[in-house]
Amino acid sequence: MQNPNSLQFKNQNHNSDKRPEISVVSYTRNEADIIEEYVDEVMDVLEKSGKTYEVIYVNVPAKDKTYEVLQKLGDKYEHFYPVNMANLTADRIQKGYQMLLACKYARGKKIIVIDSDGQPDPNDFDKVLKKFDDGADAVMGWRQEREGKHGFFYNLTSYYQNILTRLLGGIKIHDKNVGLKAFTDVAAKSMMLYGRNFRDLAIQLQEKGFVIDEVSINWRKRTGGIQSFKFMDRLLGGTFDLLADVIVAKMVDKPFRFWGLVTTGLGAISFMSFLVGVILAIFTDFASNGITFWPIVWIMLTVFFSVAMFVSFCAGIIMEFMVSQRHFNLDDYYIIDDYKGLIK
């Protein structure tokens, strides 16, 4: 198995200095029955656009012969680059790692990310790209009308997750995990993907200072492939992922600011609990009756929140120390321009 860190594309044109205007990247798994027809459509739209382009499809081996179909497409199209990979630290769903690998090697000035199941309409590419003229760094599609609805429970989890994202993430988009989105090269290279956090890319990018926008797109009926996410994964798993993603995005490289805020909040609650307990003890005539039930409850709450405050403070200090010990790594930097070739 080839090491992704030493990945080299066979077509030497991909490594040339001339960057394409657009990179279209996608991820495949168990989609051999639909992938060829959809890629033909994508390539036709890109060819007619008049823009220079490349298309990168990253596959994870599964039950069918998806990668064999991708290889055939690689022979058919000069600017189509299929990659077969497996992340050795991940479970069977490796979409985030596939997206990360594709975006790392994409050379386009704008990078479009699409699902490979045929639902995103390639004719919307131009509509999405025009949003960059308004100053956007990332553009999320918005499936206002979905052809071939998945059913009540599927749509319910989507509405629930999107509302929760707007509330917790503070981001004004309607469709966070849509299968058609686009990024500037800088935004795409700054993404940190692992596990299932690809669902909340918009929150991560917003916390890094990028401008997020959205545009209405056409969403088509799925005609093949195997759906990876079931109801409970979308409902509970998506909720857990969102909570983790919001916390990580808020911390970025300054964890103690986040945990310090949590510590302050817990401290305020602890102090208020203590005051309530003292007041109740005074009004229940502590001197003659001793401490009664409710003052004890509030004192116990004070102890609980005090312990939580201490744990939060320690967590922040430990994480801040870990960040401070990181060594310089050039891979953490995306060099937009190096005018005189200083950095090799």
What total of structural domains would you count in the chain?
A: 2
The residues near 198 (Cβ < 8 Å, ≥ 6 apart) are 95, 96, 99, 177
**Looking at the domain assignment, is residue 344 inside a domain?**
no
**Looking at the domain assignment, is residue 174 inside a domain?**
yes
- Quote the DSSP letter at residue 236: I
* Residues 160 and 79 placed together within one structural domain of the fold: yes
**Looking at the domain assignment, is residue 338 inside a domain?**
no
pLDDT attached to residue 5: 38
* Residues 234 and 269 placed together within one structural domain of the fold: no
Structure tokens at 89: 């630290």
* Residues 192 and 218 placed together within one structural domain of the fold: yes
- Note down the domain range covering 14: 4-250
pLDDT attached to residue 267: 95
pLDDT attached to residue 13: 44
* Residues 105 and 169 placed together within one structural domain of the fold: yes
- Quote the DSSP letter at residue 234: I
* Residues 122 and 20 placed together within one structural domain of the fold: yes
Q: Alpha-carbon distance 166 to 276, whole Å?
A: 34
* Residues 233 and 271 placed together within one structural domain of the fold: no
* Residues 238 and 264 placed together within one structural domain of the fold: no
Report yes or no: 7 and 94 within 8 Å, Cβ to Cβ: no
* Residues 194 and 151 placed together within one structural domain of the fold: yes
**Looking at the domain assignment, is residue 341 inside a domain?**
no
* Residues 103 and 56 placed together within one structural domain of the fold: yes
CATH code of the domain covering residue 113: 3.90.550.10
Q: In the listed set 196, 225, 250, which residue is the last one of a domain according to the structure?
A: 250
**Looking at the domain assignment, is residue 340 inside a domain?**
no
* Residues 70 and 201 placed together within one structural domain of the fold: yes
**Looking at the domain assignment, is residue 303 inside a domain?**
yes
Residue entry with tokens 């060594």: 327
Structure tokens at 323: 């960040």
* Residues 296 and 158 placed together within one structural domain of the fold: no
**Looking at the domain assignment, is residue 336 inside a domain?**
no
* Residues 36 and 157 placed together within one structural domain of the fold: yes
**Looking at the domain assignment, is residue 339 inside a domain?**
no
Q: In the listed set 195, 222, 250, which residue is the last one of a domain according to the structure?
A: 250
pLDDT attached to residue 9: 41
Render 101-135 in DSSP notation, one character per residue: HHHHH---SEEEEEESSS-B-GGGHHHHHHGGGGT
Residue by residue, pLDDT tens for the chain (344 residues) are 344 333 444 433 455 458 999 999 999 988 999 999 999 999 999 999 999 999 999 999 888 899 999 999 999 999 999 999 988 877 777 888 899 999 999 999 999 999 999 999 999 999 999 999 999 999 999 988 765 555 666 677 778 888 888 888 888 888 888 999 999 999 999 998 888 888 889 999 999 999 999 999 998 887 776 666 565 666 677 788 888 888 888 887 888 888 999 999 999 999 999 998 888 877 766 555 556 677 788 889 999 999 999 999 999 999 888 888 877 777 777 777 666 576 76
Q: In the listed set 216, 250, 284, which residue is the last one of a domain according to the structure?
A: 250
Q: Alpha-carbon distance 311 to 247, whole Å?
A: 16
